């Protein structure tokens, strides 16, 4: 399968007539292929994007099966153009090669004559305010937890869990983590709504979990390209300490963590498991 990572954004550049420029960037996961083009804002439409995709396809000698897009504002136009060429589009926050390339270009733009000097953060995405999670889906109990990388990969990953998201590239061994490295996680004993909660999570597409210090302290689910959901808020000092440890462990595990949904706390059955990575 040929996979490209694609972005359409507005860099801090103008053309010779002083018009803001937009830029399309296309690259393979290994960056062995890359393509970029710029045009004035008034010229950037579906037809222009299709033209750039066709040029990239001609240069690469292959049509991608799928394009990954991380920027919400670019998704609609890129999806429409890709559909015309029979290319599937995957909205995802995980486009590391493209994002590293964007960071490199952000350092290059100031050397250009048509640089505007406008403050520019290429990876910054506007996020809406966090929304409360649907009350009818919330479980009976929850707790922060941790498993060693070895136990997670060799034991939990093999449990018969109906709903699971375990990308091979996120497995601890693939990230080079020692088997003793603690992988932090959140365990929710959801009771009867366990499957409904998992189905909802599948819909919103979890990207990561964050503990936020308060007051009150909170636990946030990052989902989709830019959505945020409030899982819970609390003022308990011991829980806050566990939340801080959760974040510390994330920093030691390259941001790797998990979300585990169970119907109860028997430890015998599981309903859903997500392996996530977020700093």
In contact, 263 and 269? CB cutoff 8 Å: yes
d(C-alpha 98, C-alpha 162), whole Å? 33
- pLDDT of 42 above 80: yes
- pLDDT tens digit string along 127-140? 889 999 988 888 78
SS (H, E, C) the chain: CCEEEEEEECCCEECCCCCEEEEEEEEECCCCCEEEEEEEHHHCCHHHHHHHHHHHHHHHCCCCCEEEECCHHHHHHHHHHHHHCCCEEEECCCCHHHHHHHHHHHHHHHHCCCECCCCCCCCCCCCCCCEECCHHHCCCEEEEEEEEHHHHHHCHHHCCCCEEECCHHHCCCCCCCCCCCEEEEEEEECCCCHHHHHHHHHHHCEEEEEEECCCCEEEEEEECCCEEEEEEEECCHHHHHHHHHHHHHHHHCCCEEEEEEECCCCCCCCCEEEEEECC
Percentage with pLDDT > 90 across the chain: 91
29 pLDDT band, cuts 50/70/90, is very high
Closest Cα to residue 102, out of 1, 203, 23?
23
What is the overall mean pLDDT for the chain?
Answer: 95
Query: Which pair of tokens denotes residue 154?
Result: 């060799």
* 7-10, long-range: CB < 8 A, 24+ apart: 7/69, 7/70, 7/71, 7/74, 7/95, 7/98, 7/102, 8/44, 8/49, 8/71, 8/74, 8/77, 8/78, 9/71, 9/73, 9/74, 9/102, 9/122, 10/41
When pLDDT is cut at 50, 70 and 90, the band that residue 31 belongs to is very high
Q: Please give the pLDDT value at position 140.
A: 81
Distance of CA 13 to the CA centre of its chain: 27
User: 3-111 falls under which CATH superfamily?
Assistant: Ribonuclease H-like superfamily/Ribonuclease H (3.30.420.10)
**Residue 5: which pLDDT band, with cuts at 50, 70 and 90?**
very high
pLDDT (0 to 100) of residue 214? 80
Confidence of residue 24 (pLDDT cuts 50, 70, 90): very high
Domain boundaries, the chain: 3-111, 131-277
> Which of these, 212, 225, 223, 214, lies nearest to 259 by C-alpha position?
223
Which of left, alpha, beta for 159 (phi over 0: left; psi -120 to 50: alpha)?
beta
Calculate mean pLDDT across residues 24-46. Answer: 97
pLDDT beyond 90 at 202: yes
pLDDT of 41 reads: 94
Find the mean pLDDT for residues 15-19.
Answer: 93
> Residue 270's pLDDT band (boundaries 50, 70, 90)?
very high
Quickly count: other Cβ atoms within 10 Å of residue 130's Cβ.
17
Q: What is the pLDDT of residue 266?
A: 76
177 pLDDT above the threshold of 80:
yes
- Average pLDDT (200-220) is 94
């Amino acid at each position: 399968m040929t996979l490209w990572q694609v972005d359409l954004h507005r860099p801090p550049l103008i053309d010779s007539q002083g018009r803001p420029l937009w830029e399309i960037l296309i690259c393979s996961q290994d960056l062995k292929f890359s393509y970029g083009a710029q045009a004035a804002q008034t010229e950037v439409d579906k037809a222009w994007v299709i033209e750039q995709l066709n040029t990239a396809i001609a240069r690469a000698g292959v049509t991608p099966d799928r394009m990954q897009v991380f920027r919400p504002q670019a998704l609609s136009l890129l999806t429409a153009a890709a559909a015309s060429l029979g290319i599937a589009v995957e909205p995802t926050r995980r486009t590391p090669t493209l994002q590293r390339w964007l960071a490199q270009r952000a350092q290059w733009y100031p050397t250009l004559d048509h640089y505007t000097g406008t403050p520019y953060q290429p990876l910054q995405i506007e996020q809406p305010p966090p929304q409360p999670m649907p009350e009818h889906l919330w479980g009976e109990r929850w707790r922060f937890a941790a498993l060693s990388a070895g136990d997670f990969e060799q034991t939990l990953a093999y449990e018969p869990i109906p709903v699971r998201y375990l990308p091979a590239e996120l497995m601890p061994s693939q990230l080079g983590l020692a088997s003793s490295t603690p992988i932090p996680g959140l365990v929710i004993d959801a009771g009867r709504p366990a499957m409904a909660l998992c189905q909802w999570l599948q819909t919103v597409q979890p990207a990561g979990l964050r503990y936020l210090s308060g007051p009150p302290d909170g636990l946030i689910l990052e989902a989709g390209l830019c959505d945020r959901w409030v899982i819970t808020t609390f003022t308990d000092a011991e829980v806050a300490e566990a939340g801080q440890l959760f974040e510390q462990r994330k920093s030691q595990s390259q941001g790797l963590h998990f979300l585990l949904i169970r119907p109860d706390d028997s430890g015998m059955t599981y309903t859903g498991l997500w392996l996530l990575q977020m700093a």
